[in-house]
Amino acid sequence: MLKRQSPGAPKHSRDPAAHGAALPMSHNDSRSFFNLSQLVLSAGQIKPSPALKHSKINYFEVEIVDVQSKKQICIVDKVPPASTVLDVKHKFHKACPQWYPSRVGLQLERNGPFLKDSISIQSLAVSSIITLYFTDLGQQVGWTTFFLTEYTGPLLIYLLFYIRLSTIYDQVESRKSFRHPVVHLACFCHCLHYIRHLLETLFVHKFSEGHTPLKNMIKGCAFYWGFTSWIAYYINHPRYTPPSFGHKQVSYAALAFLMCEAGNHFINVALAHQTNSGNRTCFPSPTYNPFTWLFLLVSCPNYTYEAGSWISFTVMTQTLPVGIFAFLMVIQMSLWAQKKHKLYLKRFYPEVRRKAAMIPIIF
């Protein structure tokens, strides 16, 4: 039975849009559609930009989180956009005095690299709150302290063996035995080597304000001080035997040692002058000084001269401890030279591409 249609109802109760017919649009509907269109067009990008390059934020809040426990240590507030990571470290030190800035390592990600002190905070921000992960780098020492301690020890230790203390050698045997001239010459060359290092550390090299862990200085001192004790004990021993080829071997080796020491000094002065002048657009070029001509063959001539000094000292004294020390130093410096050579290739490719790292043809 069909239901009678009420007289007030429309004749077409079905939706005309179902058959593709156009719906009439009222004035209110058109205004709503216009507002919706304006809202969509003004929405901008869906994904946020990676950094706030033109941010209007006056201050940032830096959240310091422990890298191991992921727990919040503190929040450094009111950090201006022009601040650097070093500024954040100083503010963090005020909040937590037990961690001074040099032992604070900050990372943007847990497994990421440590941020350099010169990086601006604004370049790291994606919002007004920045999360940085904290790592305790341990007790730190300055580079000047590091090298002064490392080089002062061998100088003093060798002199203690040279004067033949009664606690080291037999006093009666030391007085009766005759000292070969090479013993005195070896003491002079050894002291000259480390005095040069100390003077260059104070007046030639320009170290950054960075720091290194204390454990690295302990390792370096153990290596240099330990080998110096072993070397000095044998060379200054009352029963020390001079080189096999006598005066000629000692003279030629001593001359080579002095030339390598002079070459090392002039190379370090040339590198320091390049750094101080700020001219880093080209690789250091040889000057009228013949000791700098080694720049034509290798990119790290200071390591070449350093290796030559210890090889010459080995030939001059003809002792096994010096030979082992020279062998280890050549290996270590070759590794340093290859690492630095790769950096030179990136910065000074045309000038360095045909040079060796430390020893021509070999390294």
Query: 93-113 pLDDT, tens per residue?
Result: 999 998 889 899 999 998 889
pLDDT at 49 over 50: no
Range from 74-83, 152-161, 307-316 carrying the lowest mean pLDDT: 74-83
Burial 209-245 (b: 16+ CB within 10 A, else e): eebbbbeebeebbeebbebbbbbbbebbbbebeebee
pLDDT at 56 over 90: no
Q: What is the pLDDT of residue 232?
A: 97
Both 279 and 314 in a single domain? yes
Sign of the dihedral through C-alpha 129, 134, 140, 144? negative
Highest mean pLDDT among 29-43, 183-197, 279-293: 183-197
Note if the pTM is more than 0.85.
no
The mean pLDDT of the chain is 84
Both 207 and 231 in a single domain? yes
Both 301 and 353 in a single domain? yes
Query: Which residue range is the domain that position 148 belongs to?
Result: 139-241
Q: Between 4 and 274, where is the model more confident?
A: 274
Range from 252-266, 286-300, 304-318 carrying the lowest mean pLDDT: 286-300
What is the token pair recorded at 191?
């002291």
Residue 325 lies inside a defined structural domain of this protein: yes
Query: Average pLDDT of 116-127?
Result: 88
Closest CA to 217 of 272, 143, 109, 166: 143
Q: What is the pLDDT of residue 360?
A: 79
Query: Average pLDDT of 154-164?
Result: 96
In the listed set 241, 270, 304, which residue is the last one of a domain according to the structure?
A: 241
Q: What is the pLDDT of residue 351?
A: 76
Q: Between 209 and 119, where is the model more confident?
A: 119
Residue 52 lies inside a defined structural domain of this protein: no
CATH number, domain of 112, equals 3.10.20.90
CA 153 to chain CA mean position, Å: 24
In the listed set 196, 218, 241, which residue is the last one of a domain according to the structure?
A: 241
Both 81 and 167 in a single domain? no
Q: What is the pLDDT of residue 291?
A: 95
What is the token pair recorded at 275?
């750094």
Both 292 and 251 in a single domain? yes
- What strands lie across the sheet with 129-136, from one edge to the other? 72-79, 60-66, 129-136, 104-107
In the listed set 138, 160, 179, which residue is the last one of a domain according to the structure?
A: 138
Residue 115 lies inside a defined structural domain of this protein: yes
114 strand-pairing partners: 107
How many domains would you assign to the chain? 3
pLDDT at 11 over 50: no
Q: What is the pLDDT of residue 34?
A: 54
* CA separation, residue 7 to residues 2, 4, 10, 15, 16 (Å): 15, 9, 8, 19, 21
Tens-place pLDDT, residues 182-203: 999 999 999 999 999 999 999 9
